[in-house]
Amino acid sequence: MLNEMMYRPVVMPELVEYMRTAQAKFPGQLGQLEAFANELGIPIIPHETAKFLDFFCATIQPKDILEIGTAIGFSASLMAQHLQLDGHLTTIDRYALMYERAKENFAKLGLSDRISIIEGDAAEVLPTLSGPYDLIFMDSAKAKYIEFYPECMRLLKVGGVLVIDDVFQGGTILEDEADRPKRVRKIHRKLNELHQTVLNDPCHRSCLVPLGDGLLMVRKEG
Ligand SMILES: C[S@@+](CC[C@H](N)C(=O)[O-])C[C@H]1O[C@@H](n2cnc3c(N)ncnc32)[C@H](O)[C@@H]1O
């Protein structure tokens, strides 16, 4: 018998709306930062992804976190709340304005001692880092994920987790490259390469999570 659920979109718009409204807002200044970014259209993770990261970090209680793609510091501030006492979060952004804004926000939230922000292109910064990290959150230019993937795996502790955001391209990732507008073909090709590489990597455990525009999670195995 056909399982009709297999042929339905996994996340219906009503459910997306539900995930965004039924799950409580974050209290205090973190909630204000999320609301501010959403009002101004600053690209931060959607609320359902934020709730997932909040839950995940509370569960794994990371000591060291690396983030690629800071924007104004919302997801970094969210994750930093869960750092162990002697833990630290390092976040990278190449856009000077974002760097300045994030720095201000970390100070406002009293997180300046717990978060270091590096201004620069992750392509140049990643090879200079030695980690190791319990959690890496990659939320930057999508076409570069495949290039950063080996560096992220190098920087993870065994048992550490890499979370990659926005891997479905609004669901168009499954279309033929030729059917995609020319301007997005490179991202399309590189994201497909990332899926192929990660999902067929026999060395590490991975899974896809249909939250926001899709999360690809990889656990570094021994
Ligand atoms: C979607 S935003 C990050 C949102 C943030 N993680 C949050 O949810 O609060 C992506 C950020 O990645 C930065 N970025 C993109 N490509 C990058 C690269 N190659 N190196 C460093 N930063 C990059 C952009 O400047 C932008 O601020």
Residue 177 confidence (pLDDT) = 87
Residue 113 Cα to ligand 1 midpoint, Å, equals 21
Whether residue 8 is predicted with pLDDT greater than 80 in this model: the reply is no
Pairing of strands 133-138, 64-68: parallel
SS3 115: strand
Banded pLDDT at 5 (limits 50, 70, 90):
low
Residue 70 CA to residue 101 CA, distance in Å, equals 10
Q: What is the pLDDT of residue 170?
A: 85
Q: Is 5 exposed, middle or buried (0-12, 13-18, 19+ CB in 10 A)?
A: exposed
Domains of the chain plus CATH, in order, are 4-219 (3.40.50.150)
158-173 tens-digit pLDDT: 999 999 999 998 888 8
CA 37 / ligand 1 centre spacing (Å)? 14
CB atoms within 10 A of CB 17: 10
Judged against a pLDDT cut of 80, whether residue 49 lies above it is answered with yes
Give the pLDDT mean for 187-193: 95
Contact by Cβ (8 Å): 111, 77:
yes
The pLDDT confidence band at residue 25, using thresholds 50, 70 and 90, is: very high
Query: Which atom of ligand 1 is least distant from the CA of 98?
Result: 27
| CB of 105 sitting under 6 A from ligand 1 | no
The three-class DSSP label of residue 87 is: coil
For the segment 134-149, what is each residue's pLDDT rounded down to a tens digit? 999 999 999 999 999 9
